[in-house]
Each structure stands twice: as C-alpha cells, then as structure tokens.
Amino acid sequence: HDVKSRELRVIVIAAEGPVFCSGHDLKELSSEDDVKHHSQVFELCAEVMTLIQKLPVPVIAKVNGLATAAGCQLVASCDIAVASEKSQFATPGVNIGLFCSTPAVALGRSLPRKVALEMLFTGEPLSAHEALMHGLVSKVVPEDKLEEETMKISQKICESSKSVLALGKATFYRQITQDLDTAYKITTKVMVDNLTLRDGQEGIEAFVQKRKPVWSH
C-alpha cells in the first residue's frame, strides 16, 4: 500500500512455521463453489504474482521450509530467493488431479524447461541445492544464517538509488521476453534515460570526484 514511500526500499516475503507456503487452500476449490468463485481465486493469485514484478522495489523470498504449488510459484515470481538448506520446492498438483498450470508460468520462466516439466509431471520435490543449481533460488544457506544473509542482501540494495533500481527492474522484465535486437533497442534507450535521472548524474559525479554518492531517490 505504501509502495511509493521513499522509505520503502526492499520487500522481504517470509513465513512463520515449518512451511513457507503450501499454495491454495483446496477447500476453496471444491465443487461446493461455482466456476465464478474458482476463477476469482486463480485471477487473484495471478494478480499477486504479476504485481511482484511490477513493484518498483526488489522483492526477496526468504524461504525456510516447503514451498509447493502456488507457494513454489511465489518463489519463482520473486526477484531474489534465499533459501535454507532444509527447504524444498514442488508442484504436486498432478497427484491430486489438479495440474499446476498457473505455477508452470513462473516455473517455466525460471527453470530449464525439462526440469520444470519433470517437477510438473511427477510432483516430486527439488531440494534446496537442486533449486539453486537450476536457478529457482539465488542462494542456499544454513537455517541459522538465513536471516543474516537475507538482511545482507537487503542492506546492499538499500545502498543504491531507489529510482535507478525501479528503472532497472522494470526494464529487466520488459526486455527479457524480447528478441535480442529489440532488447538492445529498449535497454539502449533506458541507459540514456537513466543518465537524465538526478541520481544517474549524482552517481557519475561522485565516482569522478571519488566520493560517496548522495541519492535523492
């Protein structure tokens, strides 16, 4: 709600308890509810996942435990994911007759296709280290270091200009779906736009003058 606040610099999504996120409440998806209700559930979920990438600040998933189905989708949708060694990631919907088609959108954009499809077809979980190897998470650390590592990344982000990060994040997601030539056209223009930002000039001046930049954000 306060996303335009200058003080908001990074968002960390975490959980309490042994599970990071188990996905949808299946009681909301029973035949007792109609198609309209089911559509609203999945539309809201998609809205949340796409909103994460539209936010002007980096979003970090701090994962400590199991992330399944839409919970796995949530991890894949975040900009950065730090996981404890005990964490696992799965899309087990196929085992209960509900294929994880919406989680597949985020998984298919974060993982190699064959890895994503094996997860989707079998429902078998990836370990934290397998998730790291295939690019679903950014880092894996011991459970007792999870908070420290997440805060370390967050604090490093907070050292940079909010306006520059916002421009960079929006551009990254815009160009990643384009062909190579279009991606370079987009990012070349954005680099020029970046130079017109007050913080763009401040950063260059500070570098030349060998001083620490003072960001206006």
CATH of the domain at 88: 3.90.226.10
The verdict on 140 and 201 lying in the same domain is no
What residue type is assigned to position 80 of the chain? Answer: I
Cβ(11)–Cβ(58) below 8 Å:
yes
- Residue 38: its pLDDT value, please? 85
The verdict on 170 and 143 lying in the same domain is no
The verdict on 169 and 128 lying in the same domain is no
The verdict on 66 and 111 lying in the same domain is yes
- Residue 185: its pLDDT value, please? 97
- Residue 154: its pLDDT value, please? 98
CA distance 38 to 80: 30
216 assigned to some structural domain? no
The verdict on 67 and 122 lying in the same domain is yes
Question: 23 lies in which domain range?
Answer: 11-157
139 assigned to some structural domain? yes
137 assigned to some structural domain? yes
Tokens representing residue 45 in the block: 């979920």
- Residue 21: its pLDDT value, please? 94
Cβ(137)–Cβ(81) below 8 Å:
yes
49 assigned to some structural domain? yes
The verdict on 153 and 164 lying in the same domain is no
CA distance 160 to 182: 27
Domain count across the chain: 2
| pLDDT per 10-residue tile (average), the chain, 217 residues | 87 94 83 82 93 96 97 97 98 93 96 97 97 98 98 97 96 96 97 96 96 95
Reported pTM = 0.93
